[in-house]
């Protein structure tokens, strides 16, 4: 049986405060406001539609012209396959089946194929159960697909550390995700990373991290740890 979305009882001011709080956290943890997740929502408020996914509450909020118009229950990725935190755009829409409930909205995440879709396992909606995509009940996903156009901004949040989610994990070669993406952007600004940010910790980022740590007397291992984060200007939000 489909469970009723609890956040339908929430007032619009509370949800707007959540959006504002997330932007504030982005600006504090990323002080230069350099990341797309920090700048995206502000611009998205000018768009006809804007989607805000809060994985702390497993809720998807749909805004139209700055006003909350719909709230849907959803679910995100498991701990081992987290959802891509940040602000993205819907770049394609389709009517896939085979596990996607007949609805697919792709996001422009550079390190993998992620999107918003339905599911043939509706009992998993409301829990961290996916491989990183945003799951919805089939009828909700279909309604959303018909409403929002290509290019709609989608902000996905979890935890209090912006792109880093619940905490700053130690990063090394082979890791992928929003936190890797953020580190690539920051090291690019600092003149160490010359590649295109793609959220993948490969040889290029390893070399950049190594040179950055050597210049800051942090050793030479190509691992991003707590001291490296601090040297790059990332600080926990307290």
Q: What is the four-CA torsion angle of 156, 160, 164, 167, rounded to 10 degrees? A: -140
User: Phi, psi at residue 20, to the nearest 5°?
Assistant: -65, -40
Query: What does the DSSP 8-state code read for residue 164?
Result: G
Helix, strand, coil in percent for the chain, rounding step 5: 35, 20, 45
The residues annotated as belonging to the active site are 117, 133
Long-range contacts of 14-21 (CB under 8 A, 24+ apart): 15/52, 15/61, 15/68, 15/71, 16/68, 18/52, 18/54, 19/52, 19/155
Q: Mapped to the 3 state alphabet, what secondary structure does 1-27 carry? A: CCCCCHHHHCCHHHHHHHHHHHHHHHH
How many CA atoms does the CB half-sphere of 78 hold within 13 Å? 6
**What gap in Å lies between CA 107 and CA 39, rounded to an integer?**
17
């Amino acid at each position: 049986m489909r469970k009723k979305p609890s956040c339908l009882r929430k007032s619009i001011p509370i949800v707007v405060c959540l959006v504002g709080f997330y932007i504030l956290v982005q600006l504090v943890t990323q002080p230069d406001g350099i990341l797309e997740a920090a700048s995206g929502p502000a611009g998205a408020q000018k768009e006809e539609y804007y989607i805000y996914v809060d994985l702390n509450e497993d809720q998807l909020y749909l805004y139209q012209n700055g006003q909350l118009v719909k709230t849907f229950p959803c679910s995100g990725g498991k701990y081992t396959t987290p959802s891509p935190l940040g602000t993205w755009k819907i770049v394609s829409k389709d009517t896939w089946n085979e596990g996607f409930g007949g609805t697919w909205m792709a996001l422009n995440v550079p390190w993998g194929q992620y999107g918003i879709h339905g599911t043939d396992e509706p009992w998993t909606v409301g829990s961290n159960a996916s491989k990183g995509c945003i799951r919805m009940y089939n009828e909700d996903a279909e309604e959303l697909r018909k409403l929002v156009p290509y290019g709609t901004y989608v902000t996905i949040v979890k935890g209090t550390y912006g792109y880093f989610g619940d905490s700053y994990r130690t990063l090394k070669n082979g890791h992928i995700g929003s936190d890797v993406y953020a580190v690539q952007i920051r090291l690019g600004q600092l003149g160490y990373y010359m590649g295109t940010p793609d959220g993948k910790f490969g040889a290029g980022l390893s070399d950049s991290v190594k040179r950055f740590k050597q210049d800051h007397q942090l050793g030479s291992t190509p691992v991003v740890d707590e001291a490296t984060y601090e040297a790059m200007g990332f600080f926990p939000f307290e």
